[in-house]
A and B are shown apart, each in its own frame.
Chain A
């Protein structure tokens, strides 16, 4: 009973996947622990390099020969799993090409000495076989060093649904997140996606004269690693600054599709249908840059309805509209919610240049955080604010409330703008001109390990999806 419940819970975490429990599902179908006699309860590794990350080798999965299609699928799962584990940097991942020469054997016959020679502390051994159209992967984390090579720290059996082309990748992402949680107690982000604006399919925007010269921009959605990039809006207008709702199934964005900017809320499951406009813009009232409250019940946005640009909040159904920043004669913009939902951060030029302020949701307690030129702040669930700092020549900076002070993460090459923090607070997506055009990139919170996600068109305003289903 307990195991069944757990299986259901893990399966329900899938990305927009209808889990039927049978062979017709996609992505991760089920996951159950493998219990072994020599299983080690305590995760204490014999490390070759104390203090550093354990080094992990990930060989090809063991498969019965004779099924090249399934073998290719298993290889995809292993490759994507390697990439996902490498992304969180909980382990030093030994490149799979380096260890390709080490024989792939059943778990009992792992050549420990060869893995130790390659520098591995542990090996994530996989055993894969087809089962009713699904691919079953048995994963075991095995020590290859120290007094007891062969000790098993982790063992779990996953069933991957392979209904669509996304299946193997989605399954590997979910395995990676489950593995990170089970072994390292780290909330992985491998199954999240990133929404962004791109002009890669640009057409000239018709209609209103003040925008007739502009090329269209649409919202796109990609996996966190840049795979499976797909177009989300298709209205041949300008659609910018997407914002995921908590739970990851609704997307708010600013669109000029009616000629003036307004905030739209779209459902990921049915793009283009059932659009809501909670901010109720008109020809005269322009609303932009929406941000969801942490519980998903409210939206904050920037609006000109009292003359200058102010921060307004509204309930998702369009009720409870009110102005938070009634300060006259200055423009406020780019709202973002604190993790507990009681405060917002925004930019205001009331002191001359746009600077970072916070305010209580009640409209009281306005406080200036920094005196630098700040744009596009985003308040992470780990209680730091990432933002664009400086202009021109802008960079990504963060303000950590636990350790106050501005820390600039990027430097030099091109400009870097508009950060969005991953749900676990360990990575930052942003757009940069360091490769010529505007491209989406992802880096660690430390500013290291920059990884490029897009290659075509100009891509801007990335927004990182919260953990789906939460």
Chain B
């Protein structure tokens, strides 16, 4: 079912249209059926539109080599759960540690690290006084930077 209607030309010149019509009328069976082609092209277009943002990459650089560099380290997490009040234990990473050995264990945790920093995750129910006790022990262990982990406020 070849379409006989002329495709509107962008330029809209009369002469061009007339010539096109005369060719199509004379040999409609030889014309390429572009509808499946357009279908396929549209599908491909959608695929690439979806995929294009995922293909965002940095600029390709050949990184310099160094014998002195160290891998970037994940920070040490110190968690003060609400149960700290009862059992005087905190978590370094995932290991439960009694408060009396906290300074030593924190020193062990940052021993081989170039940056002596930890992140404290404190339960909201822990008082400032309790958090400061833990903080003091970490400072005694030679940890120079202590950060407090929070979560973004919901609502407003």
Interface residue ranges of B98-118 to A (CB < 8 Å): 98, 100-101, 103-105, 108, 111-112
CB contacts (< 8 Å) of A52 on chain B: these are 111-112
Is A119's CB under 8 angstroms from B104's CB? yes
Is B104's CB under 8 angstroms from A101's CB? no
Is B108's CB under 8 angstroms from A117's CB? no
Q: Which residue of A lies closest to B112 (CB)?
A: A52
CB contacts (< 8 Å) of A118 on chain B: these are 101, 104-105
**Interface membership of A94, Cβ < 8 A:** yes
Q: What's the tally of chain B residues with a CB closer than 8 Å to chain A?
A: 11
Is A101's CB under 8 angstroms from B105's CB? no
Q: Which residue of B lies closest to A48 (CB)?
A: B95
Docked pose: A52 CA to B113 CA in angstroms: 12
**Interface membership of A112, Cβ < 8 A:** no
Is A101's CB under 8 angstroms from B100's CB? yes
CB contact between B101 and one of A48, A49, A119 (< 8 Å): that residue:
A119
**Interface membership of A414, Cβ < 8 A:** no
Given contacts A117-B97, A117-B98, contact A94 B104 (CB under 8 A): yes
Q: How many A-B residue pairs have CB under 8 A?
A: 24
Is A92's CB under 8 angstroms from B98's CB? no
Docked pose: A118 CA to B103 CA in angstroms: 10
Q: What's the tally of chain A residues with a CB closer than 8 Å to chain B?
A: 12
CB contacts (< 8 Å) of B104 on chain A: these are 94-95, 98, 118-119
CB contacts (< 8 Å) of A94 on chain B: these are 104, 108
CB contacts (< 8 Å) of A92 on chain B: these are 108, 111
Interface residue ranges of B78-128 to A (CB < 8 Å): 95, 97-98, 100-101, 103-105, 108, 111-112
**Interface membership of A55, Cβ < 8 A:** yes
Docked pose: A49 CA to B101 CA in angstroms: 17
Is B112's CB under 8 angstroms from A119's CB? no
Docked pose: A118 CA to B112 CA in angstroms: 18
Interface string of B112-147 (1 = CB under 8 A from A): 100000000000000000000000000000000000
Docked pose: A92 CA to B110 CA in angstroms: 12
Docked pose: A98 CA to B137 CA in angstroms: 12
Interface residue ranges of A10-68 to B (CB < 8 Å): 48-49, 52, 55
CB contacts (< 8 Å) of B108 on chain A: these are 49, 55, 92, 94, 119
Q: Which residue of B lies closest to A101 (CB)?
A: B100
Docked pose: A119 CA to B104 CA in angstroms: 8
Beyond the given A48-B95, A117-B101, A119-B104, please list 18 additional residue pairs across the A-B interface where CB-CB is below 8 A. A52-B111, A52-B112, A55-B108, A92-B108, A92-B111, A94-B104, A94-B108, A95-B104, A98-B101, A98-B103, A101-B100, A117-B97, A117-B98, A118-B101, A118-B105, A119-B101, A119-B105, A119-B108
Instruction: Please give the residue numbers on chain B whose beta carbons come within 8 Å of chain A beta carbons, in ascending order.
Output: 95, 97-98, 100-101, 103-105, 108, 111-112
Instruction: Please give the residue numbers on chain A whose beta carbons come within 8 Å of chain B beta carbons, in ascending order.
Output: 48-49, 52, 55, 92, 94-95, 98, 101, 117-119
Closest 3 CB pairs of A and B: A98-B104, A118-B101, A119-B108
Instruction: Jot down 20 A-B pairs with beta carbons below 8 A, ordered by A.
Output: A48-B95, A49-B108, A52-B111, A55-B108, A92-B108, A92-B111, A94-B104, A94-B108, A95-B104, A98-B104, A101-B100, A117-B97, A117-B101, A118-B101, A118-B104, A118-B105, A119-B101, A119-B104, A119-B105, A119-B108
